A and B are shown apart, each in its own frame.
Chain A
Amino acid sequence: MAEKGVKVFGMWASPMAIRVEWALRLKGVDYEYIDEDLANKSDALLRYNPVTKKVPVLVHDGKPIAESTVIVEYVDEAWKDGYPIMPADPYERAQARFWARFAEDKCNAALYPVFTTTGDTQSEVVREAQRCLKTLETALEGKKFFGGDAVGYLDLVVGWYAHWLPVVEEASGATVVTDEELPLLKAWFDRFLAIDVVRATLPDRDRLLALNKARREQLLAA
């Protein structure tokens, strides 16, 4: 009998996995969530994603898809009569994809050193990260969300910042997203976190903080 239904292989603290969950929830799609221990990956995960062996993986009626941004576009297309995630206009779609790529490639790379440094080095990398996020912020100008009046693809891709960055800041003893430096982004954090489907599935803040503190200690000790 053919496998039916939707499964998500993720990890509770993974920002990439959560975007898939948000997409499915916006569409009102029921799914089974499988939480992976990344140090001890399940046979199922390795079978469904032999190429990169990473989470998240979406399995829809037995067919697997990997790469979170690819999955989000798939969810939008497979349940096309549900909530519209991608913009309709080709130019706006290109813009949304451009900024998603910018955030994933540049902003994430600029943010990581904040987590792994201290003192003056950290202050420098914080400024670098702010510069990067300011560029991303231009995509928010004049809008409630990156998607316009309602959340869309780009909100789902960068939405993890709203919950994770304050935690990373606390764990790292740094502040990146402030009202002075990034007012639009900060305001968007609040609006994004107020969305029902977002609130319904955030990782526990204390647990996330403990994880980040422990990892930072490890990295600094190395």
Chain B
Amino acid sequence: MAGQSGELKLLGMFASPFALRAKLALSFKGLSYEYLEEKDLQNNKSELLLKSNPVHKKVPVLIHNDKPVCESMIIVQYIEEAFASVGPSLLPSDPYERAVARFWAAYIDEKLFSSWMMVFRGKTDEEKAEGTKQSFAVAATLEGALAECSKGKPFFGGDSVGYVDVALGGFVAWVHAIEKLYGLKVFDAGKTPLLAAWLERFCALEAAKAVMPEVEKLVELAKMRQAQAAAAAAAAQGN
């Protein structure tokens, strides 16, 4: 690829929203890479993963000329900085706007995923209800963030996608899967119209479509995991 120096590998897993962020960034920048799917993260992590991310043993890991970079948003910033002359910039050049983008990415990391986990993994109805309530509160805050960052333009990054779009974009396939599984619209057009519109626009981008996992496969995986958890709980009760 013209302008791209060095060899890029990405270790990921099809259902991981964090791996998807890395894929999205690579896709938006127009970078080519070798993708390596971890087939069994739960029971049989690859040698390469264990060697490249010995601290966390998690995906995604970006390997650039044999040097590993871990943590999804750190990978996205690395891609932005190491390939500054390739493709569009994901971060604005103004320091204040960069700080705002980083703030929202950190907020998404801290609040969004954890509220959904409460819904998925909540053992009681109260826990699940609390998770649902929190995820709506987070969505409402992000609606405000989108208004602030986009200033009427289509994306958090303005006319084109940026850092926050990627941070949130990693979760869009799961947003659709959650709707199929629970009938829950995380970015409901009635409650968060800007986010609902953003979701459609983001998913329509060619560079996003190129890397988006199939929602059906996510739904299948979630059902399988729920069945596993239920079986384990039943077995534990039976003993």
Q: A interface vs B, CB < 8 Å? A: 51-52, 60, 63, 65-67, 69-71, 73-74, 77-78, 90-91, 93-94, 97-98, 101-102, 135
Contact = CB atoms under 8 A, between A and B. Distances in A.
Contacts of A135: 55
Contacts of A52: 107
Given A51-B107, A73-B102, A78-B96, 16 more contacts: A52-B107, A65-B96, A65-B99, A67-B102, A70-B102, A70-B106, A73-B99, A77-B95, A77-B98, A78-B95, A90-B82, A91-B78, A94-B69, A97-B71, A98-B74, A102-B55
Nearest to B145: A51
Given A93-B78, A94-B78, A97-B77, A74 B71 contact: no
Contacts, number: 58
Contacts of B103: 65-67, 70
B155 to A, nearest CB: 20
Interface residues of B, number: 22
Contact of B77 (A69, A78, A93): A93
Nearest to A99: B55
A182 B95 CA distance: 37
B117 interface: no
Interface of B: 55, 64, 67, 69-71, 74-75, 77-78, 81-82, 95-96, 98-100, 102-103, 106-107, 141
A93 B84 CA distance: 14
Nearest to A70: B102
Contacts of A90: 78, 81-82
A73 B102 CA distance: 10
A94 B74 contact: yes
Nearest to A65: B99
Contacts of A71: 99
Contact of A98 (B71, B96, B102, B106): B71
A74 B55 contact: no
A91 B64 contact: yes
Contacts of B69: 91, 94, 98
A78 to B, nearest CB: 5
A51 B144 CA distance: 10
B100 A101 contact: no
A76 to B, nearest CB: 9
B44 to A, nearest CB: 24
Contact of A97 (B55, B74, B98, B141): B74
B7 to A, nearest CB: 14
Contacts of A73: 98-99, 102
B19 to A, nearest CB: 16
Nearest to B78: A94
Nearest to B83: A90
A69 B107 CA distance: 13
